[in-house]
Amino acid sequence: MSKSYESFNPRTQYCLDHSTPLNKHVDELMEVSLACKSGQMTGAKGVLQTCATLIEIIQAKNILDIGFFTGVSALTWATIIPEDGKVISMDVDDAPYKIVGKPHIDASGVGHKIDIRIQPALKTLQELIDAGQSGKFDFAFLDASKTEYPSYLASCLQLVRTGGIIAVDNALWDDRVLEKEKDTSTAGVDTLNKMALSNSNVQNVLLPIEDGLHLIVKKC
């Protein structure tokens, strides 16, 4: 149990309650997402509030959102970026969007800022690189296949501009990164954490927020 919606902790709740609230359409989408099948994949409030603050700090406009699910993270970013900003969101499965996310995203009035690409994220990232989009993104949020985390990081380090931020969700993976024996998902998360640490071109910090939020700033 590592996400704030999975178990009640008054200290965590106090922090969430004293941080800028999420947009009401995000709150509503979170609620219905948590109630649906695989609802525990929904982004957690502490991660969304932290990333929203970082997006404001760096005045991010163009965002990569890897792992759409019902769209809670994508909608959060779309509510805070400017009118001419874009969130490119990636997933292999569009059913959670069609069944759960779409009505809320349509009602939010910011759905036009979200461009959903339904195919493997690595394919979309490579297409963006091939289309000359390297250095064009301000912020990336990694939250799809854990085994592919190292490859997502490598692609995002190309696609994000100098001074841009790559935020990696589930960087503690329910504390399984601490165990000696690691399955392939845990190994993927652990490898990304070590890749960031050993890269002298980034400044990184792994925060114990929710299920672990690894922040990686591209220095050059």
Ligand X SMILES: C[S@@+](CC[C@H](N)C(=O)[O-])C[C@H]1O[C@@H](n2cnc3c(N)ncnc32)[C@H](O)[C@@H]1O
Q: Which is nearer to ligand X, 67 or 85 (CB)?
A: 67
Candidates 141-149, 159-167, 180-188, 193-201: pick the segment binding ligand X (CB under 6 A).
141-149
Stretch that binds ligand X, among 11-19, 84-92, 174-182, 207-215 (CB under 6 A): 84-92
- Give the integer Cα–Cα distance in Å for 201 and 196: 9
Closest CA to 219 of 201, 206, 204, 205: 201
List the x/- string, 35-54, binding to ligand X by CB under 6 A.
Answer: ------xxx-----------
Instruction: Compare residues 58 and 92 and give the one whose CB is closer to ligand X.
Output: 92
Residue 69 interacts with ligand X (CB under 6 A)? yes
CB 188 → ligand X: shortest distance, Å? 11
| Residue 93 in the binding site for ligand X (CB under 6 A) | yes
Q: Find the part of the chain contacting ligand X (CB under 6 A) among 16-24, 90-98, 189-197, 202-210.
A: 90-98
**Contacting ligand X within 160-219 (CB under 6 A):** none
89, two tokens: 């969101």
Residue 144 within binding range of ligand X, rule CB under 6 A: yes
Among 52, 60, 64, 90, the residue binding ligand X under the rule CB under 6 A is 90
Interface with ligand X by CB under 6 A: which residues?
A: 41-43, 67-69, 72-73, 90-93, 120-121, 143-145, 148
